[in-house]
Structure 1
Amino acid sequence: MVGITMAAPAAWNVKGPDATSGSEWASRPRYVISDMPTLLWRERGLMLVVFAVIFALGLMAAFSMKTRYPAYSSVLVRLGQEYVYEPRAGDAGRGAVPDSDQVIQSETEILSSAHLKQRVIERLGLAYIDPKLAERYASAGPADKREISGIALRELQSGFKVETAPDTPIIRVSFTHQKPEVAARVLNTLLEEYLIYRRAVLSETDSPALEQQRQSFEQKLAAADSAYEQFLNNNRIGDFVAEKTSLSQLQAQIEQQKYQTDAQLQDRLGRLAALNGQLAALTPEVGLFHDINPAAADKLVQLKVQREDLLARYKPNARPVQELDYQINQLHMAIGAGRTSGESARRVGVNPVYQTVQTDKIQLAAESAALRQASEALARQIQQVTDRRIKLAGLEPAFQELSLDRDVLQANVRDFTVREQQSRAAQEIQAFSNDNIRIVERALPPTKGTSLKKPVAILSLLFAGFTALCAGLLRAFLRPGLPTPRSAARTLDLPVLGAASLKPRTA
């Protein structure tokens, strides 16, 4: 039999019988969710103390926070001349520009620079921004002044915030301070100093190196021009490139004419050979005309007239009509076979085809001779042009060297002159304007401040409640014994027959 001593609010001591060995054992309590309210209620005193202490500390921290006023402003950033790449020498990469995100990032870094904040402090004075730090600064030594300046700079940076959005040329700037007027003025002053400071950062300084390099190239160009002119005079060339081009075109034209002439010559020779063959087959004389005897046709007409006369007196199958039909058929057959044709008169004369072929033969012979002479003349002209081009080809390396040096020096002089003028103009423009930067909205003194009192108080309440709950659960789980009869039944796997309250111990 198992002996169990229990008390409703107190822990239970569980002993297992072992008659032979007399050892004691203890089982770990087994809990369910329904036991949690009982466990927490037992530790309500501890939980209340923990909650009250943490919540009181949180309220003290919340009410110690001061209200701060954020001032807002925005800046429109567009691509400007200062971001267009202009190499000092050469054209590699000329005109390359960064994308909009890189420009925004560059301007954001300038806005966030510590040097810009220091310029704002120097312009407005530390007494205007933070009077307490100004009093400490006035009475501090050199080392402490540097430390206080660093503190003021960090405070200014902590209240300053820059926000950007992808693919948006707007930078949103804000500054938070305990006084709304100070917040607006500090932010406006920072933007004014930013417009000045960015010109010093992005603008190029004027350097005499461009002018010196331009003068050096001008001297080299004068020497190259002199050598170039002397080369043309010695070789009796007015314009090398133009003459070379004209010779190339002239040779092409002459060769084209020679090809056409040769083609025409072959055409004439072929036609002349064909005419010679045709002329051998022609006769000098030919019959001009001949008369044909129409007696058979007249006879046929007479027979047909007689037949019509007979039909007026006889039937078509009468013998006279049949005989006449037989004669008409015989005459038709004779005419069709050509047995009745004959010439009554004939005239013979000169053959016009023979004369035409003779005339064409004479003309083609003359044209062939002329084309042959023209082809020979064109061949001589081609040879002359070729000789001249060969001479120019021999002179071309020296000309190319002189021309290349001259062109390069001319381009360098032109480029450095343009860059020198552009650099001066850009510096003068950038010194007085920021065309690609616009302040969209200047800061105004904010009318509504922000404070963390309420959020901190709510967080303190939640944290105090959570901590008290954790402390109560920890204390309940670490207390020895079995807190409830149901927990004892689950832990020992035995039915609980009864429960009695624990009486106070008497001496």
Structure 2
Amino acid sequence: MAPRSDWAMRPRYAPSDFVALLWRERFLMLAVFAVIFVIGAAFAFSLKTTYPASSSILVRLGQEYVYEPRAGDAGRGAVPEAEQVIQAETEILASSELKQRVIDRLGLSRIYPKLAAEFAEAPAGEKRIVMGKALRAMETSLKIQTAPDTPIVRLVFEHEDAGTAALVLNTLLEEYLIFRRTVLVESNLPAMETQRLTFQERLAEADAAYEQFLTSNQIGDFVSEKAALSQLQSQIEQQKYQTETQLQDRVGRLAALQAQMGQVSPEVGLYRDVNNAASDKLVELKLQREDLLGRYRADAQPVRDLDSQISRLEQGIEAGRTTGEGARRFGVNPVFQTLQTERIQLQSEVAALRQAQATLNTQLAQLLDRRLKLAELEPRFQALSLDRDVLQANVRDFAVKEEQSRAAREIAAASNDNIRIVQRATAPARGSSLKKPMLVLAFLFAGFTALCAGLLRMFLRPGLPTAQSASRTLDLPVLGAAPMKA
């Protein structure tokens, strides 16, 4: 057999034993259940009925969420995501400042009369504590509900009075539409105006320095004058090259013309007379022969004499011995005269071209000096122009942004296009209370606690509670059992 200390501390139970053993502890369990249930019921009946007023708003992307940089254009037009907009509007709705505005508008006595009385009796140092209690009570009563991918925000406010619940929630929405403007639309007009005036003063100084620079250097328009000088220099250089080409052409033609004039005679024969005496003599002799042939025969002496003369004269004519110079007339050679006229013209053209070349060289030298002067002044001009351009752009940008900010603020003050109240709060007809859930919870908790107390008492009792438990614990049959005596 096992020692007594082993089996006495570890009795064995069967499911059927629990019913009998718990019934033995029924009075303890009933007492524990009654105490806890009475306490829970008393707490449940002390809960007050609240009336939940509900409302909803539609939140869309508005102008106030579009990013507008104060300077430059980096990131202009960037907008947050829809979830971020909903989160921002939810934070504004849940802010303590908004609740304080509602309390200031309706009065603490209208919303929480007990806290109003406590606030009136509290000293100055504790008034803030009482107001903090009111804000915490509003925060507890106000529920803000959102859903993913939904631009609707639902609001629920619970209060003991149905009319007060609707009034507080509607006032909250009205103050929210006003309060969000001060949060989202910042008033940066004074800063922009101050910065714009500063840029205008700097721009006036830059303009004065720019004008003084142009006046001291006798420049009307630097860019235009530089471009005009460059264009004029190109034109003069082109004229110079054309003049040099023409001059070389005229000089070459003049040299060739002078060489030709050396080969042409200044005078030329106009005409000359031809001497025909030999031919006339020959004709006369032939006529005489024909005349003699009429009186003499061909072999007569006079005829032979004439034939001899005719033969000698013909031989002289053929040999050219009978030809002589006639009268001649000479005059000015027109070719020489034309060459001389052209030479005079070329000489005048050469002189004119050389004069033009000298003038163009002088002009080019003057233009080059002026362009070098402008090139020397250009860095200073670029610096002054850059300062003026930057300041003008800044003045223009800040003036535009100032007007845009003023217009955006005025539009935002006049309307809330991106926030629409879908449903305003109305006084709820039915209230909600936690009495029934609390009674059920108190009943369940009291029953569970009573059961735990019964089990604890059952397990803490010494000995073997039943014959079946003794048999299982000792592994011995129980032959009989006697009732417990007092």
Do both share a fold (TM > 0.5)?
yes
1:61 aligns to 2:43 (yes or no): yes
Question: Cα distance, 1:458 vs. partner?
Answer: 0.9
Matches within 5 A, 1:132-151: 132-151=114-133
| CA shift in 2, pair 1:15/1:41, >3 Å | farther
**1:501 corresponding residue in structure 2:** 482
What per-residue deviation string (whole Å, max 9, x for no partner) do you get for residues 311-346 of structure 1?
xxxxxxxxxxxxxxxxxxxxxxxxxxxxxxxxxxxx
Question: Cα distance, 1:51 vs. partner?
Answer: 1.2
Tell me which of 143, 156, 161 is aligned to 1:161: 143
What per-residue deviation string (whole Å, max 9, x for no partner) do you get for residues 33-57 of structure 1?
3332222122112111111111121
Match of 2:430, SS?
A: coil
| CA shift in 2, pair 1:115/1:49, >3 Å | same
Residue 430 of structure 1 aligns to which amino acid in structure 2?
Answer: A
**2:409 corresponding residue in structure 1:** 427
Question: Cα distance, 1:88 vs. partner?
Answer: 2.6
User: CA separation in 2, counterparts of 1:468 and 1:154?
Assistant: 37
Aligned residues of 2:467 and 2:481 also touching (Cα < 8 A): no
What per-residue deviation string (whole Å, max 9, x for no partner) do you get for residues 342-393 of structure 1?
xxxxxxxxxxxxxxxxxxxxxxxxxxxxxxxxxxxxxxxxxxxxxx999998
Aligned residues of 1:485 and 1:496 also touching (Cα < 8 A): no
Matches within 5 A, 1:76-91: 76-91=58-73
Match of 2:414, SS?
A: coil
What TM-score does the superposition give when structure 2 sets the normalisation length?
A: 0.63
Aligned residues of 1:221 and 1:406 also touching (Cα < 8 A): yes
What TM-score does the superposition give when structure 1 sets the normalisation length?
A: 0.61
- Which 10-residue stretch deviates more, 432-441 or 139-148? 139-148
Matches within 5 A, 1:344-493: 400-492=382-474
**Structure index of larger Rg:** 2
Residue 213 of structure 1 aligns to which amino acid in structure 2?
Answer: Q
User: CA separation in 2, counterparts of 1:95 and 1:427?
Assistant: 17
**2:196 corresponding residue in structure 1:** 214
Runs of 5+ consecutive residues of structure 1 not aligned to the other structure: 3-13, 17-22, 252-387
**1:120 corresponding residue in structure 2:** 102
**2:24 corresponding residue in structure 1:** 42
Runs of 5+ consecutive residues of structure 2 not aligned to the other structure: 235-369
1:193 aligns to 2:195 (yes or no): no
| CA shift in 2, pair 1:39/1:171, >3 Å | same
1:130 aligns to 2:109 (yes or no): no
User: CA separation in 2, counterparts of 1:215 and 1:144?
Assistant: 48
Match of 2:431, SS?
A: coil
User: CA separation in 1, counterparts of 2:87 and 2:10?
Assistant: 63
Aligned residues of 1:67 and 1:449 also touching (Cα < 8 A): yes
More helix as a share of residues: 2
| CA shift in 2, pair 1:409/1:181, >3 Å | same
Residue 79 of structure 1 aligns to which amino acid in structure 2?
Answer: L
Question: Cα distance, 1:474 vs. partner?
Answer: 0.7
User: CA separation in 1, counterparts of 2:410 and 2:95?
Assistant: 25
What per-residue deviation string (whole Å, max 9, x for no partner) do you get for residues 10-33 of structure 1?
xxxx976xxxxxx99745112233
User: CA separation in 1, counterparts of 2:372 and 2:145?
Assistant: 72
Question: Cα distance, 1:140 vs. partner?
Answer: 4.2
| CA shift in 2, pair 1:231/1:30, >3 Å | same
Question: Cα distance, 1:201 vs. partner?
Answer: 2.4
Aligned residues of 2:189 and 2:406 also touching (Cα < 8 A): no
**2:34 corresponding residue in structure 1:** 52
Residue 502 of structure 1 aligns to which amino acid in structure 2?
Answer: P
In the alignment of these two chains, the number of paired residues is 354
Percent identity, aligned pairs only, is: 63
